[in-house]
């Protein structure tokens, strides 16, 4: 799984800003730190390009001849899309230049959010059959070994299965450009397609390893439980086609996964267990807007490899 924390670094030297930004999510600069030059001082400005709230922290590493409008470290909370001046800096002795070396990091999510313990989640796929959970909190943890993924579930399912929202909320991130050539190799950590949905209580759910270019939603959309999100795939850090699903929250500056419960008409409300089966109910939400999809057999005849034409066939509505 991709990391839910992104680090940025900027450096100023000899009174001249040599700003640069590094990000493990280089494809999508979610939070930007930039310098705005003024007549007698310079401002550090943070812009939250995502729709998620974020907490930005600046840490001072070294400096010389520097005066600052605020004490360091500097921390600020930004709502989705917000820009904010974090601090004004200038030379303590105006006759000389100054240097500053600082780092910054951001953590997504509202640190004051609390998961609604009464909520249960819809089965996150629509299919005519059940699929088995192959990794869960009560079983062997092959890849879910961090606090951010402790309660995640991996659901074994074939390519092209319809993935639906498990709970209502706002779509805040959509990544869909990566190929379905997953590998258990470090270079694939940040190459998973996914949809992130922010819930009304400040928690969010991630739907990972989706099929390339199959997303049916856009950032900013409000979706209800059962709304079609995308098709399942095998993108990113993945050995076989499956859906990774988890619920997360920002807990005092740390992204943690949360225990959650599913519900369906067959089992009622229940905690997902290792090697148990998830049986989806008959889809009802936005079904009238969704055309019948072609099966993998129709789009991928025997002996044919999964190419762009097959993906377009599976993704078409």
Length of the chain: 317
Rounded average pLDDT over 273-297: 67
Per-residue pLDDT reduced to its tens digit, 64-92: 999 999 999 999 999 999 999 999 999 99
290 has a pLDDT exceeding 80: no
Report CA-CA distances (Å) from 310 to 23, 234, 298.
33, 14, 9
168 has a pLDDT exceeding 80: yes
Mode of pairing for the β-strands spanning 131-135 and 277-278: antiparallel
Report CA-CA distances (Å) from 31 to 45, 47, 56, 263.
10, 6, 9, 36
Per-residue pLDDT reduced to its tens digit, 19-70: 222 223 333 478 999 999 998 899 999 999 999 999 999 999 999 999 999 9
Domains, the chain, with CATH or none: 5-108 (2.60.40), 121-281 (2.70.70.10)
pTM: 0.79
245 has a pLDDT exceeding 80: yes
Neighbours of 117 (CB within 10 A): 10
Q: What's the confidence (pLDDT) of residue 228?
A: 97
Report CA-CA distances (Å) from 64 to 15, 106, 251.
10, 25, 35
Could you tell me the pLDDT band of residue 294, with boundaries at 50, 70 and 90? low
Rounded average pLDDT over 149-165: 97
Q: What's the confidence (pLDDT) of residue 30?
A: 85
Could you tell me the pLDDT band of residue 282, with boundaries at 50, 70 and 90? confident
Per-residue pLDDT reduced to its tens digit, 185-234: 999 999 999 999 999 999 999 999 999 999 999 999 999 999 999 999 99
Q: What's the confidence (pLDDT) of residue 23?
A: 28
Contact yes or no for 201/114 (Cβ under 8 A):
yes
- Please report which residue ranges of 145-266 form alpha helices under DSSP H: none
Rounded average pLDDT over 152-173: 97
Q: What's the confidence (pLDDT) of residue 302?
A: 55
Q: Which of 225, 258, 254 is nearest to 105 (CA)?
A: 254
């Amino acid at each position: 799984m991709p990391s839910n924390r992104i680090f940025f670094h900027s450096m100023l030297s000899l009174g001249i800003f040599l700003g640069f930004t590094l990000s493990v999510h280089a494809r999508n600069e979610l939070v930007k730190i930039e310098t705005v030059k003024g007549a007698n001082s310079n401002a550090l400005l943070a812009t939250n390009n995502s729709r998620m709230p974020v907490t930005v922290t600046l840490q001072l590493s070294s400096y010389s001849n520097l005066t600052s409008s605020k004490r360091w470290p500097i921390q600020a909370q930004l709502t989705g899309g917000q820009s904010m001046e974090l601090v004004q800096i200038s030379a303590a002795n105006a006759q000389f230049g100054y240097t500053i070396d600082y780092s910054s990091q951001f953590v997504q999510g509202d640190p004051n959010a609390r998961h609604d313990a009464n909520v249960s989640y819809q089965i996150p796929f629509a299919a005519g059959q059940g699929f088995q959970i192959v990794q869960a909190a009560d079983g062997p943890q092959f890849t879910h070994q961090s606090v951010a993924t402790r309660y995640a579930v991996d659901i074994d399912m074939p390519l092209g299965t319809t993935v639906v929202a498990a709970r209502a909320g706002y779509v805040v991130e959509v990544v869909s450009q990566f190929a379905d050539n997953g590998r258990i190799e470090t270079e694939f950590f940040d190459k998973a397609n996914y949809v992130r949905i922010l819930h009304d209580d400040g928690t969010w759910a991630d739907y990972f390893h989706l099929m390339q270019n199959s997303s049916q939603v856009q950032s900013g959309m409000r979706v209800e439980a059962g709304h079609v999100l995308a098709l399942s795939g095998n993108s990113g850090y993945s050995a076989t086609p499956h859906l990774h699903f988890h619920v997360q929250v920002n807990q005092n500056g740390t992204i943690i996964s949360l225990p959650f419960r599913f519900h369906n008409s067959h089992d009622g409300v229940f905690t997902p267990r290792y090697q148990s089966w998830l049986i989806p109910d008959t889809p009802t939400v936005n079904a009238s807007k969704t055309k019948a999809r072609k099966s993998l057999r129709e789009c991928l005849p025997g002996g044919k490899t999964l190419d762009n034409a097959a993906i377009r066939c599976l993704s078409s509505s």
